């Protein structure tokens, strides 16, 4: 059985709090905290300690994880060197890449290649590291994508996303003139019974969905919006904007005219708290060459 030991040297300004409260502050999910406690898998300065133990500056904390702690303990993505990965940020536990449009985030079956996770596997191979998926971007979407390098930080990052600690901001060109400067779209989203590929406002098994939008500029009856996700439903931005009457330009599923050669949706920034430190990192993904930003550019 595989094991992972994660070591953290606490900072000089470490607060005098219990191990339990520090694990909570690091957004380690309750299930993992319970596993560590039950297995007595926490060492402080080399000695097993209960979670009530108070931490001090410069202490060394060791956490022992096992396979059953994780949904996906072992990464098995096939290496594919077809596309060079554009790395925006990287540390020992994760990286943020600039995903190109036109590629799936992950394979759908064992042995599949040609996806972003395959490309990241190739990038990490020479470092003797492997990728783990945290979240996904749709095939036609470009921009900042978080990828983990070990299974330990995946549930932590997922917890941060669910708690809205990690914020993802998008830019999208949409059809039509948006009159107001900002607003919120809050219609629930479910499956489209007429097309299994699609989602629909108030569709089957609809779940709450919230999108915040801000107008950036307008040109030729088109509007550039800045978008923020408060929830993460499949196709959320695409469905909310289409239902509003302002579909994303070039969306192959939700914009009937297909008025541009690609879908103009780009994950432009990620506000990221680094696991086991909670240090804040802003990561920006430059706009690709086929994503117009100049107001003088006519979209058609």
Query: Which active-site residues does the annotation give?
Result: 138
Helix, strand, or coil here: 174? strand
Contacts of 142 (CB under 8 A, 6+ apart): 98, 99, 100, 101, 265, 266, 267, 285, 288, 291
| R_g over Cα of the chain | 21
Tokens standing for 265?
A: 């949706």
In angstroms, the CA 40 to CA 186 distance is 44
In angstroms, the CA 232 to CA 255 distance is 21
Smallest CA-to-CA distance from 31 within 74, 73, 71, 75 is with: 71
Contacts of 21 (CB under 8 A, 6+ apart): none
Smallest CA-to-CA distance from 291 within 105, 92, 185, 140 is with: 140
């Amino acid at each position: 059985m595989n094991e992972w030991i994660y070591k953290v040297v606490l900072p000089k300004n470490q607060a005098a709090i219990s191990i339990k409260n520090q694990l909570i502050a690091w957004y380690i999910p309750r299930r993992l905290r319970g596993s560590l406690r039950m297995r007595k898998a926490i060492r402080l300065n080399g000695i097993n300690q209960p979670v009530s133990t108070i931490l001090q500056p410069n202490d060394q904390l060791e956490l022992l994880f096992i396979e059953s702690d994780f949904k996906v303990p072992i990464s098995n993505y096939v290496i594919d060197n077809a596309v060079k990965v554009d790395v925006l940020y990287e540390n020992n536990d994760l990286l943020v890449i600039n995903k190109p449009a036109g590629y799936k985030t992950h394979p759908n079956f064992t042995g599949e290649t040609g996806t972003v996770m395959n490309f990241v596997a190739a990038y990490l191979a020479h470092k003797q590291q492997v990728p783990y998926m945290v979240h996904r971007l749709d095939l036609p979407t470009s921009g900042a994508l978080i990828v983990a390098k070990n299974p330990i930080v995946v549930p932590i990052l997922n917890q941060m996303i669910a708690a809205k600690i990690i914020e993802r901001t998008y830019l999208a060109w949409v059809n039509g003139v948006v009159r107001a400067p900002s607003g919120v779209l809050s219609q629930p989203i479910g499956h489209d019974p007429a097309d299994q590929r699609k989602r629909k406002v108030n569709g089957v098994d609809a779940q709450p969905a919230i999108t915040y939008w801000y107008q950036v500029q307008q040109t030729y009856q088109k509007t550039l919006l800045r978008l923020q996700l408060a929830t993460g439903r499949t196709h959320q931005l695409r469905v909310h904007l289409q239902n509003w009457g302002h579909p994303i330009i070039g969306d192959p599923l939700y914009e009937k005219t297909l008025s541009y050669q690609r879908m103009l949706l780009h994950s432009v920034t990620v506000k990221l708290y680094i696991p086991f430190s909670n240090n804040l990192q802003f990561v920006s993904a430059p706009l690709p060459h086929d994503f117009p930003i100049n107001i003088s550019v006519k979209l058609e």
